[in-house]
Amino acid sequence: RVDGTRLWDSLMEMAAIGATPAGGCNRQALTDEDKQGRDLFLRWCRDIGCEVRIDRMGNIFARRAGTDGAMPPVITGSHLDTQPTGGKFDGVYGVLAGLEVLRTLEDKGIKTTAPLEVVVWTNEEGARFSPAMIGSGVWAGEFSLEYGHSRADKGGATIGGELERIGYLGDEPAEPKPITAAFEAHIEQGPILEKQDQLIGVVTGVQGIRWYDVTFRGTPCHAGPTPMADRRDPVQALAWLCERLYSEVKAYSDDARMTCGDLRAEPGSRNTVPEKVVLALDLRHPQPEGLEHLHRTLYRLAEQVEEATGASIDVREEWHSPPVVFDESCIEAVNSAVERLGYSHRKMVSGAGHDSVYVSRVAPVSMIFVPCAGGLSHNEAESAEPDHLEAGCNVLLHAMLSRAGV
Amino acid sequence: RVDGTRLWDSLMEMAAIGATPAGGCNRQALTDEDKQGRDLFLRWCRDIGCEVRIDRMGNIFARRAGTDGAMPPVITGSHLDTQPTGGKFDGVYGVLAGLEVLRTLEDKGIKTTAPLEVVVWTNEEGARFSPAMIGSGVWAGEFSLEYGHSRADKGGATIGGELERIGYLGDEPAEPKPITAAFEAHIEQGPILEKQDQLIGVVTGVQGIRWYDVTFRGTPCHAGPTPMADRRDPVQALAWLCERLYSEVKAYSDDARMTCGDLRAEPGSRNTVPEKVVLALDLRHPQPEGLEHLHRTLYRLAEQVEEATGASIDVREEWHSPPVVFDESCIEAVNSAVERLGYSHRKMVSGAGHDSVYVSRVAPVSMIFVPCAGGLSHNEAESAEPDHLEAGCNVLLHAMLSRAGV
Ligand SMILES: NC(=O)NCCC(=O)O
Ligand SMILES: NC(=O)NCCC(=O)O
């Protein structure tokens, strides 16, 4: 069994970096705060004698040697970056649960057959740099290194430049080596476990995600003298499209999701009809056909915008992460661990994207969820119970040991 | 008659300051570019021997002495600040037409009985600092000097601080002295004169304007796992309100106007439902009852937002500029000048706010409009014909002389 108090204390120590007045964290990818978080993690890893490697995407791999030098590692991990108004557990829990597994084995003097590795993936959130999960995505071969390095934030700073600036542009190639199995512990970020009073989610896959930059274009003109009938107003077009898309998405299925996370008007002057409005749109569905349906609904409505409102529209797909089904044997490893430990549990599909999505392209993977209060995440009030976090970490320990061998 | 070529050349010289690649101007209030524009204007005024005063709001008064020292001045003027993507004529024309009147009198050696003054009012556009027409508003007693100095831009810089920084925080109190009459020449910024093939608009008043900051508040949460039914999504609320308000405003009357010039989502991350969206809203109508109706429509819909969408709403009125009717005798002075000069003309109400709105609280005022291409303004492509600008300036000359006496 792991040390739940030590795990909690480490979570709180990490949460102090980028702590916000409202009790959350702002430790966005590759900022000074992210660097501090990484530095702290490295110190902890070296304290227990891990060997550390950093790759060209800034992904960190901390290895505890196994007894069989030839056996590929069992890996675990997640991310240390947060949303701009993020919580203390999203991602961080998966990294520090992995560290706690290594610390526990070190305490007990247990040697595994396969080496174990804890990984910190770069820019999982997709908040500062789009898309999400880009560190694991480049590593797994979904994106090129050039694409990864060139992604820019709203101020124009790039991943490549920021990795160099904070000293985390490593030497290792960002590409996978053979892996025995991979596990990731995470808070659920949704309400299901809490509502059903279950302790552990045995995660069988991840729903599909598509991201779009939707640009509405109009003609800037004066707010006063210009007759409404003469206008090409991008905000009218935005309202027209969103009103219809929200209602079609909600009517389609309870599983469908639509989020308009960001909006920007240009030039952004109150008495000028904007020249353009850019909407950052996120659509999700657990089934490929469902996601395709939402995608087609967006394009169908987009085709009607100009006739309905006069303003034009351009829909650019920014990212597509299709639904993923995890590896049967890894799901079974988690399930057996949960049953051995006697925790209440259910199988479930993740609503959030995770680094495990891309890791699953090159290795057998599954995930372990624990409840979070009110299902709330991407919110400074995100909260989880120490007991639940400890239970999830015990599951991780047993699942990893079952694949690594002792 | 004025020198149309000289007027045009001065307009083009001023337009070079803050010129944009798309052929417009970005010379926002109290920026370095605004300072350069003011400096150029001052040089031109001193070249013809004007005495210059600057008040505590940075309003500039350039005076050409009259023969009767006791007679209050006849004033004219407008503003040199522009929208972020503004044109070459909005405001600038009114200032440089005033200057051209003085230059013409100087050339001809004509002495007026009353002194003449050309005024540059600070921050007329309301684009960098809200509300619009604040320089003339403080001067006329609509706003206190403290209010004026404390208004801040999106980056937090204040009018008081920026006046000091660019060296235009003058010594004169920002308050009116007696004025014989005031006139303001301006491009129409709307399509009426061009469509009806008229050269001059004799402006009888200005329609009413109300500005609002509409804040939609939700609960930030994760774009994936959070069921749509559990969300409080401020973008859903924005779309719901705008869709209905646009259609009610358009259905109410052809004279009604609604503009959503700026939108801001916080925290502005694609995979997080925003905590809030702030909309900068502008409603207008020429009649007080019409404007009141639009105002009540906004509040009625706002009351329904929470029930309809779950998100809450806060409507804060930022500014109210009621419809204004100009002075009969000043309107008549413009009308007589136009008829004497033989220009085609019509009476009209201004759709845009102007410094004359506030000047009219303390002095008899009217305005002179000339056409602009396609009625387009607050757009870098804003354009006006040299002949039309010259004609408007001739009207200004004759109207001013008629009230100042020769
Ligand atoms: N786990 C998590 O919050 N990931 C961010 C990627 C996404 O699902 O939008
Ligand atoms: N003339 C002009 O564009 N004024 C700006 C104030 C307004 O009407 O919004």
Are A209 and B190 in contact (CB < 8 Å)?
Answer: no
Ligand 1 centre to CA of A28 (Å) is 13
For B376, the token pair is: 């387009």
- Pocket lining: A354 vs ligand 1, CB cutoff 6 Å: yes
Cα torsion B182, B186, B188, B194 to 10°: value is 110
Residue B69, ligand 1, Cβ within 6 A: no
Q: Give chain A's count of helices (H) and strands (E).
A: 12, 13
Ligand 2, pocket-test mutation among B95, B133, B203, B207, most atoms within 8 A of CB: B133
CB contact under 8 A, A269 and B127: yes
Find how far residue A313's CA is from the centre of its chain: 29
Q: How far is the CA of B99 from the centre of ligand 2 (A)?
A: 21
Structure tokens at B293: 């109706």
Ramachandran region, residue B43 (left: φ > 0; alpha: ψ -120 to 50; beta: rest): alpha
Cα gap B234→B181, rounded to integer Å: 49
Q: Which of B257, B261, B265 sits opposite A262 (nearest CB)?
A: B265
Q: With an 8 Å Cβ cutoff, is A265 touching chain B?
A: yes
**Residue ranges at the known binding site of A for Zn(2+):** 79, 90, 125, 186, 378
Question: Could you tell me if B382 lies within 8 Å of chain A, comparing CB atoms?
Answer: no
Q: How far is the C-alpha of B75 from the C-alpha of B181, rounded, in Å?
A: 6
Residue-wise burial string across A170-188, b where 16 or more C-beta atoms lie within 10 A, e elsewhere: beeebebeebbbbbbbbbb
Mean pLDDT of A120-142: 98
Query: A224 falls in which pLDDT band (50, 70, 90)?
Result: very high
β-strand partners of A348: A203
Nearest 5°: the CA angle A256, B273, A254 is 20
Model confidence at B107: pLDDT above 90: yes
Q: Which two tokens stand for residue B226?
A: 């959070």
Q: What is the pLDDT of residues B151-181, one digit of tens each?
A: 999 999 999 999 999 999 999 999 999 999 9
pLDDT tens-digit profile of B9-55? Answer: 999 999 999 999 999 999 999 999 999 999 999 999 999 999 999 99
Mention every residue, 6+ apart, whose C-beta is less than 8 A from residue A90: A82, A83, A125, A186, A187, A189, A377, A378, A382
Contacts by B287-293, CB closer than 8 A, 24 or more apart? B287/B208, B287/B255, B287/B323, B288/B208, B288/B322, B288/B323, B290/B208, B290/B252, B290/B253, B290/B255, B290/B256, B291/B207, B291/B208, B291/B209, B291/B210, B291/B322, B291/B323, B293/B252
pLDDT, tens digit, for every residue of A63-94? Answer: 999 999 899 999 999 999 999 999 999 999 99
Q: Average model confidence (pLDDT) for chain A?
A: 98
Q: Whose CA is nearest to atom 9 of ligand 2?
A: A271
Transcribe A291-323 into DSSP letters: HHHHHHHHHHHHHHHHHHHS-EEEEEEEEEE--
B262 in contact with A, Cβ within 8 Å: yes
Q: Which of B136, B184, B354 to mutate to test the pocket of ligand 2 (most atoms within 8 A of CB)?
A: B354
B285 is in an annotated binding site: no
Is A379 in contact with A24 (CB distance < 8 Å)? yes
Picking from B316, B218, B314, the residue whose alpha carbon sits closest to that of residue B266 is B218
pLDDT score at A69: 84
The atom of ligand 1 lying closest to the CA of A282 is: 9
Cα three-residue angle A13-A18-A23, rounded to 5 degrees: 80
Instruction: Give the residue-averaged pLDDT of B137-142.
Output: 98
> pLDDT-derived band of residue A113, with 50, 70 and 90 as boundaries?
very high
Q: Quick one: DSSP state of residue A262?
A: E
Which token pair is B89? 């004529």
Residue B250 CA to ligand 1 center (angstroms) comes to 41
- With CA atoms as reference, the chain A residue closest to B376 would be A221
For residue range B295-322, what is the model confidence (pLDDT) as tens digits?
999 999 999 999 999 999 999 999 999 9
The Cα–Cα gap between A349 and A344 comes to: 17
Residue from A133, A184, A281, A283 to probe ligand 1 pocket by mutation (most atoms less than 8 Å from CB): A133
**Nearest C-alpha of chain B: how many angstroms from A184?**
17
pLDDT for B69: 84
B271 and A259 in contact by Cβ < 8 A? yes
Give residue-wise pLDDT tens across range B188-221. Answer: 999 999 999 999 999 999 999 999 999 999 999 9
Q: Which ligand is nearest to the CA of A125?
A: 1
Task: Return d(Cα A323, Cα A87) in angstroms, integer.
Answer: 25
C-alpha A38/C-alpha A82 separation (Å) is: 13
Q: What is the 3-state secondary structure (H, E, C) of B138-193?
A: HHCCCCCHHHHHHCECCCCCEHHHHHHHHCCCCCECCCCCCCCEEEEEEECCCCHH
Average pLDDT over residues B68-97: 97
Q: Are B346 and B54 in contact (CB under 8 A)?
A: no
Chain A residues in contact with B126 by the CB 8 A cut-off are 269-271
Query: How far is Cα of residue A35 from the mean position of the Cα atoms in its chain?
Result: 18
Q: Which residues of B touch A259 (CB under 8 A)?
A: 223, 233, 270-273
Segment A277-283 shows an average pLDDT of 98
Query: Rounded to a whole number, what is the distance in Å from the CA of A54 to chain B's nearest CA?
Result: 27
Q: Which amino acid is at A210?
A: R
CB A388 within 8 A of CB A371: yes
Whether B157 has its CB under 8 Å from any CB of chain A: the answer is: no
Which chain B residues are Cβ-neighbours of A284 within 8 angstroms?
Answer: 223-224
81-120 of B, contacting A, C-beta below 8 A: 83-85
Q: Phi and psi (nearest 5°) for A214?
A: -105, 115
Per-window interface: A 295-334 vs B, CB < 8 A: none
B378 burial type by CB count under 10 A (0-12 exposed, 13-18 middle, 19+ buried): buried
pLDDT confidence of residue B349? 98
Pseudo-torsion of CA B6, B11, B12, B16, nearest 10°? Answer: 140
User: Going by DSSP bridges, is the β-strand pair A365-370/A181-187 parallel, antiparallel, or unpaired?
Assistant: parallel
B286-314 exposure pattern, b = at least 16 Cβ within 10 A, e = fewer: beeebbebbbebbeebbeebeeebbbbbe
B171 in a known ligand binding site = no
pLDDT in tens, A325-369: 999 999 999 999 999 999 999 999 999 999 999 999 999 999 999
pLDDT category of residue A42 using cuts at 50, 70 and 90: very high
Average pLDDT over residues B101-128: 98
